[in-house]
Amino acid sequence: MTEPAASPTPDQMPAYVSQIPRRGAVAAFFAPVAGFGVSLGNMFKPMVTEEYPREPANVKPRFHGRHQLNRYPDGLEKCIGCELCAWACPADAIYVEAADNTPEEQYSPGERYGRVYQVNYLRCILCGMCTEACPTRALTMTNDFELAGPTRAGLIWEKQDLLVGLSPGMVAPPHPMVEGTKDTHYYCGEVDEATQAQREWVRQNRPDDPSLDATPKGLAAAVPVGATRARQQKITAAARREGGAR
Among 66, 75, 109, 138, binds ligand SF4 (CB under 6 A): 138
Own/partner long-range contacts of 187-194 (Cβ < 8 Å, ≥24 apart):
187/109, 187/136, 191/72, 191/73, 191/74, 192/73, 192/74, 193/73, 193/74, 193/168, 193/169, 193/217, 194/73, 194/74, 194/75, 194/169, 194/170
Instruction: Check residue 96 for interaction with ligand SF4 (CB under 6 A).
Output: yes
Instruction: Check residue 127 for interaction with ligand SF4 (CB under 6 A).
Output: yes
How many residues form the binding site for ligand SF4 (CB under 6 A)?
27
Residues facing 94 on adjacent strands: 119
Which span sits near ligand SF4 by CB under 6 A: 3-11, 130-138, 178-186, 189-197? 130-138
Residues 7-66 that bind ligand SF4 (CB under 6 A): none
Instruction: Check residue 134 for interaction with ligand SF4 (CB under 6 A).
Output: yes
Which span sits near ligand SF4 by CB under 6 A: 90-98, 183-191, 226-234, 235-243? 90-98
CA distance 103 to 101: 7
Instruction: Check residue 194 for interaction with ligand SF4 (CB under 6 A).
Output: no
Which span sits near ligand SF4 by CB under 6 A: 14-22, 132-140, 153-161, 238-246? 132-140
Instruction: Check residue 79 for interaction with ligand SF4 (CB under 6 A).
Output: yes
Exposure string over 108-119, b if 16+ CB within 10 A, otherwise e: bbbeebbeebbb
* Minimum distance from residue 14 beta carbon to ligand SF4 (Å): 49
Instruction: Check residue 225 for interaction with ligand SF4 (CB under 6 A).
Output: no
